[in-house]
Amino acid sequence: MAHSPGRDHVVVDLPAGRLRGGVEDGVTVFRAVPYAAPPVGDLRWRPARPHPGWTGTRVATADGPSAPQPYREEGDPVLGGHGSPPFDEDCLTLNIWTPAADDARRPVLVWIHGGGFVSGSGSLPGYSGATFAQDGDLVFVSVNYRIGALGYLSFEAEGDVIGEGGDGEAEGGANPWLTDQLRALHWVRENIALFGGDPDLVTVAGQSGGAVSTAALAGHPETQGLIKRVILQSPPFGLGLPAPEAYGERVAAYLELAGVKTVAELRALDWPELIGAGLGLFARTARWGYWPTPFLPVIDGVTLDRHPARTLTHGAAAGVDVMIGWTREEANFGFALDEGYAAATREQVTARIADTFGADRAPEVYAEYERARPGARPADVLMDLITDELFRVPALRLAEARAETGHPVWAYQFDLPTPAHEGRLGAAHCLELPFVFANFDQWAHAPFLAGLTPAVRDGLATAMHRAWIAFVRTGDPNHAGLPQWDPYDTRERTTMRFDSVVTALGDLAGASRVLYGDGLPGPVSAGTAEGAP
């Protein structure tokens, strides 16, 4: 039950206790709402548990701490930063934007932030749900969850010193991050009606690592009936995900960097020490020509039983409505401004291509990428290769697999390049985010938006933002401001191209699809292992 004792705040009575939110520009907002017990002390690396509740009225008008993560005060040259203090392990909270805390049963959009499994926050200004609540009459929920070492270390090898706390008993499990998100979804199911939302009409959306999370959630046995639709923005489905045994080498390297031998000793460290050791793991796991991922989801057969890319083509999750897309030059985000990669040679890039296609095909594949981008430097070929391997081709495979089984999927490619950094970023990873949220004022700190023409920028944002709203509300992204957007099928392969002019094209990424074919390994190829292409 909601009460409105004042014009600037709203009180909601939850099973866990009374909560007081605020009213911001006509939208009712509740911030730092706890959805799970603080994962501190003995609960570090344990599965998320229900929050015990509180007495009195909890004030929910200020953001809570973000999950601990690396931080540079000077920011970065692309996003300008992806998480800012305060940080704290007691971070399992969510934020809610709603037109009103009433009984209107509006569609719900749950946002899972990305960040390479090491950064980000649901409380970032750019992830404000105000525009979705105002423009779409939706209830928007953003989630904080454990990331980096605190979310992605896995201690599954019982009997191994890595997995013991000194008493011979396994100390933790894989994928604490996923248990957080599962708990958040159950919280939404149990409570969102009190905030004007419909628990039977929930869309989960995520970008990058958050899109991997979204797919994992959609196919999880604990979420059956909880998720109606998913939006997958730039999922790096080309990542190979390890089993616990394979991941053990990475965990052992991390423990060495942290200067400890057991999980009990690791649990005694303060979280800043854990972040420092994680920075060391970046260097230990980096490979030339590959996106750095020191921490990864683990396919443990318990919390996660298959690659997330496979969940939406199997079982109950096959019936979930899906929209999936990528940016034209995803990899430019991580590589285009790196002078070391800018100086890459043809020989280096050909050797990298051989990792995927074999030495015999590598020269031919290099030539294909050159033809697709006249005047391409070796660095450009490398970035297009990484974009295809990690993002575009695995997304196409999912779209193809869905289409073959008769389950609809809408596909898009974001093509608008940014003029920032002399145009070197192109249509890079993350660039679609401010367009989807249509809140450029909240992204003023982000260098990658510099130089965009306001009229083009705002027109494209309106088209994308309204498409996301339509999909959340109906399962179909079409609206009056778009050309007809048909589901992806294996005949027309319709893909919406979001650029200064929005166009629905047949087989937009056909060159990449044909180049990679069906015979190479990949998470959504029938009968293959869980590894990357």
CATH number of the domain residue 468 falls in: 3.40.50.1820
Q: Which helix (H) or strand (E) holds 202?
A: strand 197-207
CA nearest neighbour of 44 among 116, 186, 152:
152
Does residue 114 sit within a domain? yes
Do 89 and 165 belong to one domain? Answer: yes
415: in domain: yes
**Is residue 193 a part of any domain in this protein?**
yes
Residues 87 and 12 in one domain: yes
Three-state secondary structure call for residue 413: strand
What three-state secondary structure class fits 402?
Answer: helix
pLDDT of residue 369 exceeding 70 = yes
Residue 451 · residue 419 · CB < 8 Å:
yes
Same structural domain, 13 and 136: yes
Q: How many domains, the chain?
A: 2
Q: Answer whether the bond into residue 86 is a cis peptide, omega within 30°.
A: yes
- Whole-angstrom distance, CA of residue 149 vs CA of residue 160: 19
Residue 186 among the catalytic residues = no
Query: pTM here?
Result: 0.95
* Cα gap 140→21, rounded to integer Å: 14
Closest of 23, 3, 22, 25 to residue 14, by C-alpha: 3
Task: Assess if residue 524 is contained within a domain.
Answer: no
**Which residues does 374 contact at the CB level (< 8 Å), separation at least 6?**
none
What band does 171 get if pLDDT is binned at 50, 70 and 90?
very low
Q: Mean pLDDT over all residues of the chain? A: 92
Determine which one of 330, 389, 432, 530 is catalytic.
330
Instruction: Give me the residue label for tokens 């991050």.
Output: 177
Q: Give a yes or no: residue 292 inside a domain.
A: no
Helix (H, G, I), strand (E, B) or coil at 151: helix
pLDDT digits (tens, 9 = 90+) for 104-143: 999 999 999 999 999 999 999 999 999 999 999 999 999 9
Same domain flag for 201 and 346: no
Amino acid identity of 143? V
Same domain, 41 and 109: yes
Residue 522: pLDDT band (50, 70, 90) is: low
- Beta carbons within 10 angstroms of residue 407's beta carbon: 17
Catalytic residue among 121, 128, 208, 525: 208
Domain residue limits at 43: 2-285
Give yes or no: residues 228 and 140 share one domain: yes
Q: Do residues 108 and 139 touch, judged by C-beta distance below 8 A?
A: yes
pLDDT average, residue stretch 198-222: 97
Angle at Cα 509 formed by Cα 505 and Cα 511, nearest 5°? 125
User: Does residue 330 carry a catalytic annotation?
Assistant: yes
398-446 pLDDT tens trace: 999 999 999 999 999 999 999 999 999 999 999 999 999 999 999 999 9
Query: Is there a domain that residue 295 lies in?
Result: no
Looking at the structure, do residues 446 and 495 belong to the same domain, yes or no?
yes
Same domain, 495 and 410: yes
In a domain, 277, yes or no: yes
> Which of 51, 113, 421, 429 is the catalytic position?
429
Task: Give the bridge partners for 10, in sequence order.
Answer: 21
